[in-house]
Structure 1
Amino acid sequence: MKQSVSGETIFALSSGRLPAGVAIIRLSGPKTRFVIETICGKLPAPRVAALRTFVDCDGNPIDRGLVIYFPAPSSFTGEECGEFHLHGGKAVADAMITCMYSFEGCRMAEAGEFTKRAYENGKFDLTVAEGLADLIAAETEGQRRLALHIASGAQASLYSGWRQELIRARALIEAELDFADEADVPGSVSDQVWTDLSELGQRISKHVADGKRGVLVRDGFRVVIVGEPNAGKSSLLNALAGSDVAIVSDEPGTTRDLIEIKLDLGGLPVLVTDTAGLRDTEGKVERIGINRARERAAAADLVVALVDLSNAAADFPGDVDNAAVLRVGTKFDLNPAYKRDDCDLVISVRDNDGLEALLAIFAKRAAEAAGNLSDPLPTRRRHLELLAVTSHELEMAVRQDNAPLEVRAEFLRRASFALGRITGHVDVEDILDVVFSQFCIGK
C-alpha cells in the first residue's frame, strides 16, 4: 500500500456546527498516539471507545468524554487516527483545539484533507472519494442512494474492469507486434480482440448517454414555467414553494429575471424556475429577461406552458423550443365554465385545485428520466469528458482497420490512459485539489 509522504499530524472538528450534543475532533498522522496518550493519559484498545478525562499539556482538565484509537493501516486514512468525543459546547471544543495546536508537528486540516490522505494511501480511488463528497452533500433520497452506490465502489469496479479489458487487448496486439516472427505466436492474434473492443465501445457509449441521468439525480430535474404576462407563473411558483418567493402583480412584466425553487419529489431534486412573461416589448431589461426565459426553457427537462383561462384572448406561447411541454390552464376558479381542448391540466392556485396532480406529473417525469438508481451512473462533468475521450479513442482504434497496427495500438493506449484518469490511477495531480476542495473541513 502506498503511504502518505506527509509527516504532519492533522486535526479538525468533524461533527459540524456548534453548539451540539457532541463535538467530535478527528486527528490523523504520526503523532496521533503521542497526542492521545498526552491528553488522555493512556492509549485505549484499538477501535474501542474508552471513557477518559481530557487534559491539556499543563495538566488542566478540558472535559470528560470518549476517545477512540485506530492504528495504521486499519483506519479511514491508512495512517494512525484518533477521535475525541467531547461535550458539544463551543468553549469546550475551542479548548481542545487550542491544546492540539500546542503539539509540534500538528496543524488544522484543510478541506478534504482526511479523504485526500486516504486516497494517497490507497484506501480507495477518486470515484469513491467523489461519491463520499456527494453523500455528504445529498439532500434527497435519490441523491443519497446514488452517492452511496458510488461511494461503495460500484463505479470504481466498473471503470477498473473496462481498463483491464483495454490493457489485455493492448497486450495481445503488442505481442503480435513484438513477436510476429516467432513460430509459436499466431500471426493474427490481435484479430480476436477487435470484436470484443467494439462491444466494449458500445457499453461505454451507453454509459456516457446515461450520464444525463446521473447529472439529473445530482443536480436536479429542471422544470421551467413559461407563459404570457399575467398567466399566473409567479402565483404558481409561490404555491409550489409554500411562500412568496416571486412578486405577484396585475402589472405585466413584473418578473424580469429567473426565480428558482428546489422541491424534493419522490426522493429526486426538482428545480422549478419562474420566468419573464413572453411577449413583444420595447423595454431593454424585460427583453433580456424574455431571452433568458427562452434559453432556460430550451434546456429544460420539462416546460410548463401556462394559459390564463379567465382571458378568452389568451393563448399558450408559441415559440418554446422544447419538445417536452406540459400545457396547463390557470385561474380555473375565475371561469370554471370555460373549456379548452388543448390543456393537459387545469389548476387554480387560489383554490389549491390541481396542484397535487401537477406535482405528481413532475415526480413521474423525474423518476422516468432518472431510471434505475442502482446503476453506477457518471455524475460529474469530469467523468463524462474523460469517458467521451475514451469512447472516441476506442472508436478510432476499432474503425481504422486499414491503419497500421502500431497506430491502432496507440489509440488503445490513449483510451486506457483517459479511463485511468477517472479513477486516479494515472496522472491526476492537476485535478486532486479540485476534487478534495469540495469536502468540508474534518472530512
Structure 2
Amino acid sequence: MSTIFAQASAAGKAGVAVVRISGPKAFSAASQLCGSLPAPRQAALRRLRSAPGEVLDEALVLCFSEKASFTGEETVEFQTHGSVAVVNALLAELGTVDGLRLAEPGEFTRRALANGRLDLAQVEGLADLIASETEAQRQQALRLFSGGLGDLAAHWRERLIRASALLTVTIDFADEEVPVDVSPEVLELIAEVQTAMQAQVDGFGAAERIRTGYEVAIVGPPNVGKSTLLNALAGRDAAITSEIAGTTRDVIEVRMELAGLPVTLLDTAGLRETDDTIEKIGVARALERAKAADLRVFLIESNSKPELDPAPDDIVIASKADLSGDKFGAVSGKTGAGVAQLVEQIGAKLSSKTAKAGLATRARHKEAMERCLVSLAEASNRVALGPEFTDIASEELRISLEALNMLIGRVDIENVLDEVFSSFCLGK
C-alpha cells in the first residue's frame, strides 16, 4: 500500500491550509520534514524543512495512529499558513520523499471504506455533506454520514440471517422430526424487514428531492407579473421584465433556499395562443417544465382562472396587488406586497412533502432495497407453501442478503465505487 498526500483544505489563499499524509510511511515521511513527531492526537508546533534544510513554514502537526484515523492508516496533518506558495512548496517537498505520491480524488475516503472506517452509504453521506448548501441538506447528509442507513441495514441483516438460519436447520434435519415449526418466526422476521424497508423506499422521493432540490414553476398568462415576482423572490434582476407580452421566451431558472430547502424557481413563458414560432416553442417548454415541477404557483388576473388545472397542492394567487388594492389575497412583485406570505406558503407546501423522507437518498439505495423486497416476497410465499419449498425460500433469503450487502458496499461493486468517488475533491 502506497503512502499518499494532498492538500485537504480548499485551494487558494486562506488563514490556514491543511496538508494530509496517509499510509504506512506517513510518520517516517513527516519526521523527515519536522524532526520529532508529537504523540498521537496531540498537536505541536514544528518547523517544516526541506531536505537541504531550508525552512518551508511553521506548522501545527497532528498525528493519528493506524486504526485510529479517518483512513484507518497512519496519518499526519500539517496545519500551515494558508499561502499558496507555502502549500506548493510543502507539496513539492513531499513529492520528493521516497514512497510518497499525490493522492487521487477521493482516495483518502476510499481508503476509509477499504479499511472499514466507513460503509458505502456513509461515504455517500460525506459527499452530500461536503456539497450541502441548505440546512435540510446538511441534516440529511449528516444522518447518512453518521451511519443511519448502515445501522438500519445491519438490523435488517441480523433479522434475515436469523430467518435464514432457522430455514437451514429445517433443511439439515429434513429426514428427522424437527420439534418446532419455524415458519411463523421466519415469516414474522421477513415481514418486519419488509415493512421497515418499504417505508424507506416510499420515502426515497422526498429524500432525493432534499438532496437534489425542488422545482417550483411560476405559471400564468403573458404580462401577469411572473418575471417581476421571480425577481422579487430571488432578490435580484434574474429575468427581464417589460410591459410587452411574450418577453419571456425560455424557462429562466433561479436557485435559492426556501424554508431551509434547496429550491429552483422557474419563470416560464406566458401561456397563450400565438402565431410567433419562437414564442410557441417557449410556451411548449413552459407547459413541459410546469407539469414536471414539484409545485406550481399560478399567477392570475383578479377574477380569472388558471390556464391549466392546478393540482391539489398547487398555489393559485392573484397578481399585481399594487394595482388591484387587494392586500390580503394577492401578491405584487413590484411592491413586495404578499411576497413574504407567498414564500411562507411555498415553504409550508414543500416542507410537508419532506415529512416522510427516508434515509435512502440515491437511486442506488432504492434499487438495492427494491431487489431485496422482491426476494423477500418470494421467500415469504415459499415458506407459506410448506416444508417442501424451504430450500427455495432459503435461496431467496440469500439473494435478499446479497442485495442488502450491495446497499452498504459489502460486496464487489467497483463500478459503483468509481461513480461515487468521481465527485470527491483531491484532498478528501
> Normalising by the residue count of structure 2, what TM-score does the alignment of the two structures yield?
0.94
CA distance, structure 1, for counterparts of residue 412 and residue 341 of structure 2? 51
CA distance, structure 2, for counterparts of residue 103 and residue 129 of structure 1? 30
- The answer to whether 1:69 aligns with 2:41 is no
Shift of 1:26: 0.6
**Match of residue 38, structure 1, among 18, 32, 41:** 32
RMSD of aligned Cα (Å): 2.0
CA distance, structure 2, for counterparts of residue 200 and residue 269 of structure 1? 32
Partner of 2:233: 240
Contact 1:327 1:345 in 2 (8 A): no
Partner of 1:407: 392
Post-superposition Cα deviations, 1:132-173, rounded to whole Å, max 9, x if no partner, equal 111111111111112112211121101111122112212211
Shift of 1:131: 1.1
- The answer to whether 1:347 aligns with 2:331 is yes
Partner of 1:149: 143
**Match of residue 205, structure 1, among 192, 198, 203:** 198
Post-superposition Cα deviations, 1:57-111, rounded to whole Å, max 9, x if no partner, equal 1111101121111111211101110011111111111100110111122111111
Amino acid of the structure 2 residue aligned with 1:277: G
Greater displacement, 272-281 / 285-294: 285-294
CA distance, structure 1, for counterparts of residue 120 and residue 184 of structure 2? 34
Distance change >3 Å, CA 382–CA 351, structure 1 → 2: same
CA distance, structure 2, for counterparts of residue 420 and residue 282 of structure 1? 58
**Match of residue 112, structure 1, among 106, 112, 135:** 106
Shift of 1:235: 1.0
Matches within 5 A, 1:24-423: 24-183=18-177, 185-186=178-179, 188-309=181-302, 315-319=305-309, 322-336=311-325, 345-371=329-355, 377-400=359-382, 401-402=384-385, 404-423=389-408
- The answer to whether 1:436 aligns with 2:421 is yes
CA distance, structure 1, for counterparts of residue 60 and residue 325 of structure 2? 66
Post-superposition Cα deviations, 1:247-275, rounded to whole Å, max 9, x if no partner, equal 21223322232222222223222222111
CA distance, structure 2, for counterparts of residue 199 and residue 26 of structure 1? 44
Shift of 1:284: 4.1
CA distance, structure 2, for counterparts of residue 385 and residue 276 of structure 1? 37
Amino acid of the structure 2 residue aligned with 1:353: A
Contact 1:131 1:151 in 2 (8 A): yes
Contact 1:51 1:67 in 2 (8 A): yes
Amino acid of the structure 2 residue aligned with 1:329: A
Amino acid of the structure 2 residue aligned with 1:275: T
Greater displacement, 146-155 / 19-28: 146-155
Q: Per the alignment, in what secondary structure is the counterpart of residue 266 of structure 2?
A: strand
Q: Per the alignment, in what secondary structure is the counterpart of residue 346 of structure 1?
A: coil
Shift of 1:36: 0.9
Contact 1:176 1:190 in 2 (8 A): no
CA distance, structure 1, for counterparts of residue 398 and residue 308 of structure 2? 50
Contact 1:9 1:106 in 2 (8 A): yes
Distance change >3 Å, CA 379–CA 70, structure 1 → 2: same
CA distance, structure 2, for counterparts of residue 396 and residue 117 of structure 1? 37
Greater displacement, 406-415 / 24-33: 406-415
Post-superposition Cα deviations, 1:166-219, rounded to whole Å, max 9, x if no partner, equal 122122112212221134x34732343113312321221111111122112212
Q: Per the alignment, in what secondary structure is the counterpart of residue 366 of structure 2?
A: helix
CA distance, structure 1, for counterparts of residue 45 and residue 174 of structure 2? 69
CA distance, structure 1, for counterparts of residue 374 and residue 250 of structure 2? 39
> Normalising by the residue count of structure 1, what TM-score does the alignment of the two structures yield?
0.91
Contact 1:234 1:274 in 2 (8 A): yes
Q: How many pairs align?
A: 425
Contact 1:270 1:366 in 2 (8 A): no
Distance change >3 Å, CA 416–CA 290, structure 1 → 2: farther
Shift of 1:119: 0.5
Distance change >3 Å, CA 84–CA 301, structure 1 → 2: same
CA distance, structure 2, for counterparts of residue 290 and residue 165 of structure 1? 54
CA distance, structure 1, for counterparts of residue 248 and residue 179 of structure 2? 72
Amino acid of the structure 1 residue aligned with 2:375: E
Greater displacement, 95-104 / 395-404: 395-404
